[in-house]
Amino acid sequence: MANIDSSASGDGATPAPPGWYQTELGQRYWDGSQWLSNPPSAPAGPMAGAGYQGAQPPGRPAYEVPHPSGISSDDRTMGMLAHLLGLVASGLAPLIIYITKRDQSPFVRHHAAEALNLFLTVMVVVFGSLVVFFGGAALIAIVSTEVAAAVFVAGYFLVIMGLMAVSIGSLVLTIIAGIAANRGEWYRVPFCFHWVK
C-alpha cells in the first residue's frame, strides 16, 4: 500500500500520485498533497483511475459527509434528544435544550419547541379532564346521590381510558418526531397546540 501523505509520516516516502482513492468515507480525490473538498469530476468507472489505492492518508482527520438535508449531525442528534428525553424527563429536557440551543440552531430550536408543545398539550388535556371529571362528580353529588355514584363510576372509566389514549398517542408522536429529527426533517407534531415557537 502506498503512503499517500509523506509529510504526515515523516519517513520521506514518495506520496501517492493524484487521483481517486477508495477510503472509509467512500471515494475521495487526492491531489498529491491533500484531500480536496471540491475535486474534479469523478472517474467513469466505480473505482477507476490511476490513483486508486484503497487507503486514507495517515494523520488526516476524517471529515463528516454532509447529510442530504444539510443539517449537521450534532443538530439532528440534539433535535432527536429534545423529543426522546421528554419521555424520561417530561418537559424539563426539551425546555433545557430549547433554552440552551435556541439561538445557535434553528433546527434544534424547532424540535425542542415541538417537544415542549406536545408536553404542554398533554398537560392541558390531563388537567382539563381531571377538573371536568371531579367538578362534574361534585355537581352531580349535590343534585342527586343515586345518579352521582353511577356517573362517577362511568366518568372514572372514561377518564382513565382517555388518559391511556393520550399517553399512548403522545408516546407514538414523540417517537415519530424523534425519528424525523434524526433524519433532518422539519417535522411538525400534529394534534397539539403550537404555543412555543
Predicted TM-score (pTM) of this structure: 0.62
What pLDDT sits at residue 69?
72
Burial of 87 (0-12, 13-18, 19+ CB in 10 A): middle
Complete DSSP assignment for 129-140? HHHHHHHHHHHH
Contact predicate 31/60, CB 8 Å:
no
Name the band, by pLDDT with cuts 50, 70 and 90, for residue 8: very low
52-90 pLDDT tens trace: 444 455 555 555 556 777 788 899 999 999 999 988 888
